[in-house]
Structure 1
C-alpha cells in the first residue's frame, strides 16, 4: 500500500531589496492522503550589507517553514498517541 502526502511551499517577498526591510516569508502546507492539513511558517531577512541573492532568503524561509511544519506534525502525532494511550505522550524532536 502506498500513501502520498503532498507539501506545497508558497514564498512571499516584501520590502525594498536595497533597504533593511526586505523579508521573505514561506508558508508550507502538508496534505495527507487521509485529508489532514497542517501548516508551517518561516521567515528570512536579508542583512542590508549582504549581496542581493533572493534564492538564499527563499531557501532559509522555506527551511524554517518546513522545520515548523515538522514540529507541528510531531505535536499532532503526540496528541493522537496520547488520546489512544490515555496518558501524555511526548515525542523527541
Structure 2
C-alpha cells in the first residue's frame, strides 16, 4: 500500500521598511492522504548591505518553514503515541 503526502510551500516577499532590506516569508502546508494538515512558517531577512539574490531568501525561508513543519509533525506524533501508551512520549529530532 502506498500513501502520498503533499507539501505546498508559498513564498511572500516584502520590503522591510525598518531595516531597508527585504523580508521573505514561507508558509508550508503538509496534507496527508487522510486529509489531515499541518502548517509550518519560516522567515528570512536580507541585510541591506548584502547583494539582492532572491533565491537565497526563498531557500532560507523555505528551510525554516520545513524545519518548523517537521518539529510540529514530531509533536503531533508524540501526542498520538502518548495517547496510545497512556504516558508522555518525547521523540527526538
Q: What TM-score results when the alignment is normalised by the length of structure 1? A: 0.95
Structure 1 residue 20: Cα displacement: 2.2
Q: Report the aligned-residue RMSD.
A: 1.4
Aligned-pair distance for 1:7? 0.2
Q: How many residues align?
A: 92
Which consecutive aligned stretches of 4+ in structure 1 deviate over 4 angstroms post-superposition? Answer: none
- Describe how 1:9-48 pairs up with structure 2 within 5 A: 9-15=9-15, 20-48=20-48
Superposition deviation, residue 21 in structure 1: 3.8
> Can you list the C-alpha shifts for 1:44-81, whole angstroms capped at 9, x where unaligned?
00011100000000000000000000000000000000
Q: Following the alignment from structure 2 to structure 1, what is the Cα–Cα distance between the partners of residues 45 and 20?
A: 8
Alignment partner of 1:15: what SS?
Answer: strand
Structure number having the greater strand percentage: 2
- Give unpaired runs (5+ residues) of structure 1: none
User: Unaligned regions of 5+ residues in structure 2, if any?
Assistant: none
Question: Could you tell me the TM-score, scaled by structure 2's length?
Answer: 0.95
